[in-house]
Amino acid sequence: MLHLLLQIAASGTTLVLLGTGTPRPDPDASGPATAVVVGNRTFLFDAGPGVMRQLAAAKLPINGVAALFITHLHSDHTLGLPDLIFTSWVMGRQTPLVAFGPRGLRAMTDHIIEAWKEDIAIREDGLEKEVPGGYRVSAREISTRVLYDSAGVRVLAIPVEHGDWTEAYGYRIETPGKVIVVSGDTRPSAALEAAARGADILVHEVYPEGRLAPEPRPGGQSWPAYMRAFHTSDVEVGRLAAAAKPKLLILNHIVRMQGTDEELLAGVKRGGFTGRTVIGHDLERY
């Protein structure tokens, strides 16, 4: 009986918003990173700047995660990757970091390791005596839909459309307790909408439709066209969620352009979604 209860407790699923920010260095919103914790396994989605400190703040493992899934190679989603690779090693990681992502991820991780080769030599050969090779990454460029399927957890790649990027992904995470879908960066995506049907939680990027205007800077004329090609407005998220009907919609990676929470929530309603919607903040758990 106790064994059964422990098993049930171990299969509980928690979503932790580690970083809800954008490229803007907001001290209150760390770079994009989302954790799904199932028992003693932590699955990490994106490695934006600050990811290691946010893992520590959330009391999640700082010596390696079960697997990392990168949505796309934009810098705001990957600047924490060197931190994740090297700090988790220094904090005790001994096995390769399993990292899934789009084509180009392997070259990126190879270059990161090359860039820090002097650090690696000092830590391995000097008096720190770190575990040789403990920094390694097993980079897996996505070629199948099901990326992870083990002990009751499945992670599926959802190809999304993010402007000029040839590859960008959202992810659907199925656990014994919950179905969670994270959008990554995307314009309104039919594939994501299908993947989010009936999900317990949809974490979606957003910007306020009503604030979209050319920016007063060289090249700023194309800002609205950029946003429409690369991102999803509050009204569009509302439309998508009205079709997919998640039990909870979390707005994340908010390109605010001075828009308020109230405006964003009203935009979602205008799009047709009347279900539970919240603005995501760093270190919240669901």
List active site positions. 76
- Tell how strand 33-38 and strand 41-45 pair up: antiparallel
Name the packing angle between helices 105-115 and 81-90 (round to 10°). 60
Binding segment for Zn ion (CB under 5 A), chosen from 52-60, 88-96, 108-116, 180-188, is 180-188
Nearest to 157 by CA among 183, 190, 176: 183
Binding segment for Zn ion (CB under 5 A), chosen from 124-132, 135-143, 178-186, 193-201, is 178-186
How many residues bind Zn ion (CB under 5 A)? The answer is 3
Nearest to 203 by CA among 270, 79, 260, 286: 286
State the minimum distance, in angstroms, from the CB of residue 44 to Zn ion: 16
d(CA 282, CA 273) in angstroms, rounded, equals 24
State the minimum distance, in angstroms, from the CB of residue 127 to Zn ion: 40
**Identity of residue 90:** V
**Identity of residue 177:** G
State the minimum distance, in angstroms, from the CB of residue 31 to Zn ion: 9
d(CA 45, CA 16) in angstroms, rounded, equals 10
State the minimum distance, in angstroms, from the CB of residue 225 to Zn ion: 15
Tokens found for residue 229: 């090609």
Binding segment for Zn ion (CB under 5 A), chosen from 33-41, 66-74, 103-111, 238-246, is 66-74
Tell me whether residue 174 or residue 185 sits nearer to Zn ion (CB atom): 185
Going from the C-alpha of 252 to that of each of 16, 33, 275, the distances in angstroms are: 12, 10, 16
- Cα dihedral sign, 184-190-195-198: positive
Q: Pattern 71-110, binding to Zn ion, x per CB under 5 A?
A: ---x-x----------------------------------
Tokens found for residue 22: 């954008």
Tokens found for residue 35: 């954790």
Residues 228-257 that bind Zn ion (CB under 5 A): none
Tell me whether residue 7 or residue 75 sits nearer to Zn ion (CB atom): 75
Binding segment for Zn ion (CB under 5 A), chosen from 34-42, 124-132, 183-191, 278-286, is 183-191
Tell me whether residue 57 or residue 79 sits nearer to Zn ion (CB atom): 79
Length reported for the chain: 286
Please name the residue that has the structure tokens 């979602």.
268
Tell me whether residue 41 or residue 74 sits nearer to Zn ion (CB atom): 74
State the minimum distance, in angstroms, from the CB of residue 39 to Zn ion: 30
Which of 46, 130, 185, 193 contacts Zn ion by CB under 5 A? 185
CA 255 from chain center: how many Å?
A: 16
Tell me whether residue 74 or residue 140 sits nearer to Zn ion (CB atom): 74
d(CA 202, CA 183) in angstroms, rounded, equals 8
Binding segment for Zn ion (CB under 5 A), chosen from 38-46, 47-55, 101-109, 177-185, is 177-185
Tell me whether residue 74 or residue 239 sits nearer to Zn ion (CB atom): 74
Where along the sequence are the contacts to Zn ion (CB under 5 A)? 74, 76, 185
